[in-house]
């Protein structure tokens, strides 16, 4: 499940795309393109001017207000492929470059999608700040949490609160900050919000350094798995000892999501 660190790793792998011209776009599944604000034909022959990430979204920039936005949902993969090979079973979209390379989008569960948009400001207007960017500050986070009764974990997963955190990193962040995932967000003390803020940045930064987490099927653009799964403290470790205190990791449901935490270090 590509979250911010995985999407960031894929983005780095797509840097060679910049400067290459689009030779063709092939849609293999009717529902995978969610929005077409311009005709795909308008970018044929045009070079990719840039590739950037916003939250869990990847954006290919074509200029003249033309962007291709990709979200990989749970099981989506975006990767370089040799032109001759048969597309894998759930390949839904292929971008061919004039240099003869293919960028393929594969997504068995089809929770992901592709949008051809002209205005990224508008497209992302409900998305919260980048957790590793300058607009995400301790003060703003504190104001966003106060008076909220929802579990703090639900807010970490809320993309309008902060962009890019999914279920794995929410659990890891709360463990690092030593905060129980079900704590009402508004009940956090200032010092706890401080720990949480620090943990968000540290966990995500470390995960990027490890090229993301390969839990089931995540691979980067060059088909390499990530390494952060070896660093997980709580996610999917229920019944195993906490690396900090040795108590057994528990799994509960918070906000409808499977949630892993240490009952020793994360008290309600």
Partner DNA sequence: AGCTCACCCTGGACGC
Partner DNA sequence: TGCGTCCAGGGTGAGC
Question: Does the annotation mark 56 as catalytic?
Answer: yes
Nearest of 49, 55, 48, 50 to residue 7 by alpha carbon: 55
**From 2, 129, 151, 181, active-site residue:** 2
d(CA 74, CA 87): 20
- CB of 102 within 8 A of CB of 22? no
Question: Does the annotation mark 3 as catalytic?
Answer: yes
**Residue in the structure block whose two tokens are 């032109």:** 83
Q: Whats the size of the chain, residue-wise?
A: 268
**Nearest approach, Cβ of residue 39 and DNA (Å):** 23
**Nearest approach, Cβ of residue 80 and DNA (Å):** 22
Question: Does the annotation mark 2 as catalytic?
Answer: yes
Question: Does the annotation mark 257 as catalytic?
Answer: yes
Judged by CB, which is closer to DNA: 22, or 261?
261
Judged by CB, which is closer to DNA: 47, or 73?
73
**Nearest approach, Cβ of residue 136 and DNA (Å):** 16
d(CA 238, CA 261): 8
**Residue in the structure block whose two tokens are 């909220």:** 148
Contacts with DNA by CB under 7 A lie at: 1, 3, 55-56, 71, 73-75, 89-90, 108-111, 126, 148-151, 154, 157, 159, 166-168, 185-186, 216, 255-258
Judged by CB, which is closer to DNA: 95, or 156?
156
Judged by CB, which is closer to DNA: 28, or 150?
150
**From 54, 56, 77, 211, active-site residue:** 56
If 0-12 CB within 10 Å is exposed, 13-18 middle and 19+ buried, where does residue 245 land?
A: exposed
Please work out, in degrees rounded to the nearest 5, the angle formed at the alpha carbon of residue 31 by the alpha carbons of 30 and 34.
125
d(CA 247, CA 182): 19
**From 3, 6, 8, 172, active-site residue:** 3
Catalytically active residues are 2-3, 56, 257
């Amino acid at each position: 499940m590509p979250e911010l660190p995985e999407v960031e790793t894929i983005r780095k792998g797509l840097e060679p795309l910049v400067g290459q011209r689009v030779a063709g776009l092939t849609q293999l599944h009717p529902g995978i393109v969610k929005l077409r604000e311009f005709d795909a034909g308008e970018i044929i022959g045009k070079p990719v001017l840039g590739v950037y990430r916003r939250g869990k979204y990847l954006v290919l920039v074509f200029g003249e207000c033309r962007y291709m936005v990709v979200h990989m949902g749970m099981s989506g993969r975006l990767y370089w492929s040799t032109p001759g090979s048969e597309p894998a079973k759930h390949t839904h979209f292929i971008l061919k470059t004039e240099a003869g390379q293919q960028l393929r989008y594969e997504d068995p569960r089809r929770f992901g999608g592709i949008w051809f948009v002209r205005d990224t400001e508008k497209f992302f207007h409900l998305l919260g700040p980048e957790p590793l960017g300058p607009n995400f500050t301790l003060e703003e986070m504190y104001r966003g949490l106060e008076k909220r009764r929802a579990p703090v974990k639900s807010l970490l997963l809320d993309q309008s609160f902060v962009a890019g955190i999914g279920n794995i990193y929410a659990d890891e962040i709360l463990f690092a900050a030593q905060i129980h995932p079900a704590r009402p967000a508004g009940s956090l003390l200032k010092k706890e919000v401080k720990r949480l803020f620090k943990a968000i940045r540290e966990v995500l930064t470390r995960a990027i350094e490890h090229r993301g987490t390969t839990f089931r099927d995540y691979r980067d653009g060059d088909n390499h798995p990530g390494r952060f799964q070896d660093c997980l403290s709580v996610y999917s470790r229920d019944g195993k000892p906490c690396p900090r205190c040795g108590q057994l990791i528990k799994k509960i449901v918070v906000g409808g999501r499977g949630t892993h935490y240490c009952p020793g270090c994360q008290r309600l």
